[in-house]
């Protein structure tokens, strides 16, 4: 895809050149000690082009994604700073976008965010001053036009790459809107049915969206029967009957191993889709498994 040369970072370079991109995901700690986050960053460094730093994922309080992104930068791993509209109004959102630019954060991923009642502070007031599309439009105007939503100018605009999320299934109307709003890469929900995802990707490609936005297919290892139940219930996720039989057909103590193998096979199959820009590996609470998955899929450590 075509990206201006001023977009910084390895992820932008991969999308620009057509190299198969890999991103992962990390959660900041629920506390003020970043030792574990630093360790995870060192483990992923060299294996992925960037790593998402979640923003109070599931509406549960953690260290801010901005702080977590700074920690990853210090460890030599490019962050994707997630930002949700749930907790901040347009003033605070624009302030954090400027902070991301000032601190050299190369990528931002803009989301509406889970409702507070689903998290650990169910009585919290939800803000939702903007939605994800409006936030992407705001981030693009700030970067490309050096202009705030108020119309006032900023002295030095940020240079980040703008990302969004999508189900990766169904009609691509929402994706069309996200790309029009400014999304330059999109990470999808978990993919287990590669054939169905390939059909969706063909429709997206026919609309010309893959030439304007890199699509990263979401993948992840299912390591327990409870995780299988949780993933199967997620919006937009289709777990084929054959996959469910495969995972339920092994003894419980071998399910984690089988789930890792399945994930690697899925990544390898997705690599064969010519319009796909890469994969986003979501190994929740098992980030140390990412190198194993990538190696088994034929994706070695990057230089």
Q: Would residue 229 count as lying in a domain?
A: yes
CATH number of the domain within which 87 lies: 3.20.20.220
Q: How many structural domains compose the chain?
A: 1
Read off the pLDDT of each residue in 252-273 and give the average, rounded to a whole number: 97
Do the beta carbons of residue 230 and residue 239 sit within 8 Å? Answer: no
Is residue 301 in a domain?
Answer: no
**What is the residue range of 164's domain?**
10-296
155: its two tokens: 């002295």
CA-CA distance, 282 to 302, in Å (whole number)?
19
pLDDT of residue 300: 84
Judge whether 3 lies within some domain. no
Q: Give a yes or no: residue 56 inside a domain.
A: yes
Task: Find the mean pLDDT for residues 30-36.
Answer: 97
* Whole-structure pTM value: 0.96
| pLDDT beyond 90 at 81 | yes
Let me know if residue 37 belongs to a domain.
yes
Summarize pLDDT for 264-300 with one digit per residue, the tens: 999 999 999 999 999 999 998 899 999 999 999 999 8
Residue 302 confidence (pLDDT) above 80: no
**pLDDT tens, position by position, 143-159:** 999 999 999 999 999 99
Contact 108, 85 (CB under 8 A): no
Question: What distance in Å separates the CA atoms of residue 158 and residue 147, rounded to the nearest whole number?
Answer: 11
**Strand pairing partners for 215?**
186
Task: Give the per-residue pLDDT at 301.
Answer: 83
CB neighbour class for 123 (10 Å; exposed up to 12, middle 13-18, buried from 19): exposed
Binned at pLDDT 50, 70 and 90, residue 303 comes out as low
pLDDT at 43: 97
3-state class (DSSP) for residue 76: coil
């Amino acid at each position: 895809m075509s990206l201006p040369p001023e977009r910084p970072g390895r992820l932008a370079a991969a999308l620009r050149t057509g190299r198969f991109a890999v991103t992962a995901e990390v959660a900041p700690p629920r506390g003020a000690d970043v030792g574990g986050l630093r360790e995870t960053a060192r483990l992923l460094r060299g294996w992925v082009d960037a790593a998402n730093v979640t923003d109070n994922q599931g509406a549960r309080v953690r260290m801010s994604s901005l702080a977590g992104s700074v920690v990853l930068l210090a460890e030599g791993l490019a962050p994707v700073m997630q930002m949700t509209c749930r907790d901040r109004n347009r003033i605070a959102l624009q302030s954090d976008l400027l902070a991301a630019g000032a601190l050299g954060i190369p990528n931002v991923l803009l989301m509406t965010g889970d409702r507070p009642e689903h998290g650990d502070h169910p009585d919290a007031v939800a803000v939702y001053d903007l939605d994800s599309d409006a936030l992407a439009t705001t981030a693009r105007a700030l970067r490309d036009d050096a202009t705030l939503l108020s119309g006032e100018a900023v002295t030095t605009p940020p240079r980040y790459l703008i990302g969004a999320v999508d189900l990766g299934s169904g009609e691509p109307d929402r994706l069309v809107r996200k790309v029009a709003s400014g999304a330059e890469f999109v990470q999808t929900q978990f993919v287990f049915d590669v054939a169905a995802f390939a059909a969706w990707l063909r429709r997206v490609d026919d609309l010309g969206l893959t030439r304007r936005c890199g699509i990263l297919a979401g993948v992840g290892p299912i390591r327990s029967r409870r995780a299988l139940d949780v993933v199967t219930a997620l919006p937009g996720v289709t777990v084929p009957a054959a996959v469910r039989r495969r995972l339920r057909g092994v003894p419980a103590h071998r399910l984690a191993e089988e789930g890792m193998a399945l994930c690697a096979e899925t990544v390898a199959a997705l690599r064969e889709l010519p319009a796909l820009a890469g994969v986003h590996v979501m190994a929740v609470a098992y980030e140390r498994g990412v190198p194993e998955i990538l190696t088994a899929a034929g994706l070695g450590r990057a230089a």
